Amino acid sequence: MDRQLMLFACFLLLVSSTQAIGVKYCDKKKNYAVTIQQVKIIPDPVVTGKPATFNISAVTGQAVYGGKVVINVAYFGVPVHQETRDVCEEVSCPIAAGDFVLSHTQTLPSFTPPGSYTLKMTMEDKNNEELTCFSFNFKIGFHSLVSDS
């Protein structure tokens, strides 16, 4: 391989590995119908009292016509936030088999302390059949007075 190309490939690998957010499935042995490709957190770190968006790139093996998404946020294992949303609010329905992006936006309460949090997401279809269940970590930064102006 061309040396420059190889350097470029190494660079890409480095960049993507530093940005990748590790996703853990709730049940490693289960074959979920929906698998997660990538999680994007905007902004990262999340700012307390301001909207945070979680863009979840996923692949579904079957078409999804509806259902719900259950979100649990925990701080050092202590649940701080739970909510249930209609799947079709987070992604346009029906979801055809293949790639899709689920975009979840929420504002965490302004008293949420900065630190490391875990977000667990469960997706169910209309028949309450679990499509996927996974978790990942995200950070909440200190409230910046500068960005408030």
The residues binding ligand NAG (CB under 6 A) are: 40, 42, 55, 101, 103
Shortest distance, CB of residue 22 to ligand NAG, whole angstroms?
Answer: 18
Measured from the CB atom, the residue of 91 and 133 that comes closer to ligand NAG is 91
User: Is there a contact between 25 and 133 (Cβ–Cβ < 8 Å)?
Assistant: yes
Asked whether 90 and 101 are in contact (CB, 8 A), the reply is no
Amino acid at 62: Q
Nearest distance from residue 49's CB to ligand NAG, in Å? 20
Closer to ligand NAG by Cβ: residue 38 or 80: 38
Beta carbon nearer to ligand NAG, 27 or 89: 89
Residues 6+ apart with CB under 8 A from 112: 48, 49, 75, 80, 140
Q: Select 38 or 130, whichever has its Cβ closest to ligand NAG.
A: 38
- Least separation in angstroms between residue 28's CB and ligand NAG is 27
